[in-house]
Amino acid sequence: MTMLSEFVAGGRRVAAHRPAPRAVVDAATWHQAAQALGDERATLFGLWGERDAAHLALLDDGTGEIAVLSFACPDRRFPSVGALHPPALRLERAMRDLYGLVAEGAPDTRPWLDHGRWPNSRPEAAAPYDFRPAEGESLHRIPVGPVHAGIIEPGHFRFTAGGETVVRLEERLGYVHKGVENLMADATLERSAQLAGRVSGDSTVAYAIAFARAAEAALGVDAPPRALWLRALMAELERLANHFGDIGAICNDAAFALMHAHTGVLRERVLRAADVAFCHRLMRDGVVPGGVARDLSPEGSVAIRATVGEVRRRFPALIALYDNTASLLDRTVGAGYLRPELARQYGAGGYIGRGSGRDFDARRNLAYAPYDELRFTVPKRGDGDVNARVWIRIREVEQSLDLVDQILARLPQGATRIELPPAAGACEGLGLAEGFRGDVLVWLRLGGDGRIVRCHLRDPSWFQWPLLEAAIEGNIVADFPLCNKSFNCSYSGHDL
């Protein structure tokens, strides 16, 4: 019996929760689970609250086994997981802000998403934010944001520097909190699916897939095979577009604009092909619970093939350009080093984890359809710097091109959408998708009327943002944009 199934067996199993098991556990099992996270015998996959319960999702990296443990807390207090496992801290602070649940024994109780500006803000959230001190001779502080110099999302960074070297970075996020989960409460599946696709614009497909899979799991249905393959096609196009954007933007932040110009062209080609194939450049609202909104047209297929051909012709020369430009490598090699221990501890997904040795990709480790039938490899490196994260993206572009080819060649015929059955009583589902940035997790509970009772969306950035604070230490302030871009965490996905 595995450790996770023992945790589940130690509690009261919730029947209508699919596909992973969920159990309501006592304080002792909850504590054991937190201890297992702290000892790195399991990976923290999610931690969220509702009115009278805290939920903890755990992942076994090796086997891909997932379990959800719930702690009933009618008094709105639960034992802190963050006290034993720091990656849970910000999640617990957000639970306090959004659901009023108090993590007892947590070492950090500062408000997080609540800036004291909501109608129902906690009074203490309005006080000036208590940034952690850094003391030493000649240290100075540099406040940056929330409005940044570039065309990017808002967030505040508080640097403490000694000369040019960053001694400490502390992030302050929450500026783009839109209350998405709150809006989903009591909303229809259709409306909630649209909201899920608007959590993080660059990962709209990944979110829509994770949400649709959670809804389908709750209702106990499967989308038709053709729909699953078309979802994967969209997901790979999204990955390609984002990776091209990122590779160029990272080089641009090292003042190498030539790469940015060329990858920008490739990105635009992918978006235009997506527009022809799925009637939207970002493929927003293309994935719906029950299948996909529209089938792939013959012209769409032609456009995607042409784009893949064009990318295959152009991209190798760009890889060579990156690899042969010493002045560029001088900036990326060694900058923003993320220690593999931290990537493992935080369960960092995507290129951040894989650049620092964490060998996890939901497409392979959790092998959801159609990836269980597709051939691809997951690149991994151990050098953990900006250069490593660029190379992971380069290798993933190559894999995604192959995946697009395979999907187009083997796309099954048949229906692209099923009618969803009415919910037979309350039911719950867990859905996952590997976005370009990492694994997106969606958990939802449907009421007997088919409306959402509670939905939680966990962006991969929750476990990546804190690592940026560690990776920037010892780098010069001027390298922050470069390091930050190589992480490219989501603000909107994190702030919700």
Residues 6 or more apart whose CB falls under 8 angstroms from that of 289 comprise 189, 190, 193, 211, 212, 215, 216, 420
Nearest distance, CB of residue 236 and another protein, angstroms: 17
- Identify which of residues 72 and 147 has a Cβ nearer to another protein in the complex: 147
| Cβ nearer to another protein, comparing 120 with 138 | 120
Nearer to another protein, 167 or 258 (CB): 258
Closer CB to another protein, residue 20 or residue 95? Answer: 95
| Binding interface with another protein (CB under 8 A) | 113, 115, 117-120, 146-147, 149-154, 174-180, 182-183, 194-195, 198-202, 204, 245, 258, 261-262, 264-265, 267-268, 271, 281-282, 284, 317, 321, 325, 490-492
CB atoms within 10 A of CB 145: 18
Q: How many residues does the chain have?
A: 496
Nearest residue to 489 via CA among 423, 436, 452: 436
Which of helix, strand or coil describes residue 165? strand
Q: How far is the CB of 278 from another protein (least distance, A)?
A: 14
Least separation in angstroms between CB 277 and another protein: 16
Min dist CB 22 to another protein, Å, is 28
Query: Least distance in Å: CB of 113 to another protein?
Result: 8
Q: Closest by alpha carbon to 27, among 78, 75, 68?
A: 78
Token pair for 75:
């008094």
Q: Which is nearer to another protein, 115 or 141 (CB)?
A: 115
Calpha distance 428→398 (Å, rounded): 37
**Cβ distance to another protein smaller for residue 57 or 184:** 184
468 vs 66: CA distance, rounded Å: 27
Q: Supply the minimum distance, in Å, between the C-beta of residue 207 and another protein.
A: 10
Q: How far is the CB of 2 from another protein (least distance, A)?
A: 38
CB of 418 to another protein, least distance (A): 25
Output the smallest distance, CB 93 to another protein, in A: 15
Taking the C-alpha atoms of residue 60 and residue 44, their distance in angstroms, rounded to an integer, is 9
Nearer to another protein, 113 or 403 (CB): 113
Whose Cβ is closer to another protein: residue 1's or residue 151's?
Answer: 151
3-state secondary structure of 428: strand
| CB-based contact 454:467 (threshold 8 Å) | no
Q: Which is nearer to another protein, 78 or 256 (CB)?
A: 256
Gyration radius from the chain CA atoms: 22
Q: Which two tokens stand for residue 437?
A: 């940035």
Q: Considering Cα of 81, then 82, then 87, then 90, what sign does the dihedral take? A: positive
Q: Is the Cβ of residue 77 or residue 294 nearer to another protein in the bound state?
A: 294
Smallest separation (angstroms) from another protein to the CB of 263: 9
Judge contact between 81 and 95, C-beta under 8 A.
no
CB-based burial, 13-46: b 16+ in 10 Å, e otherwise = ebebbbbbbbbbbeeebbbbbbebbbeeebbbbb
Instruction: Report DSSP letters for 51-83, one per residue.
Output: TTEEEEEEE-TTT--EEEEEEE-TTSEEE-STT
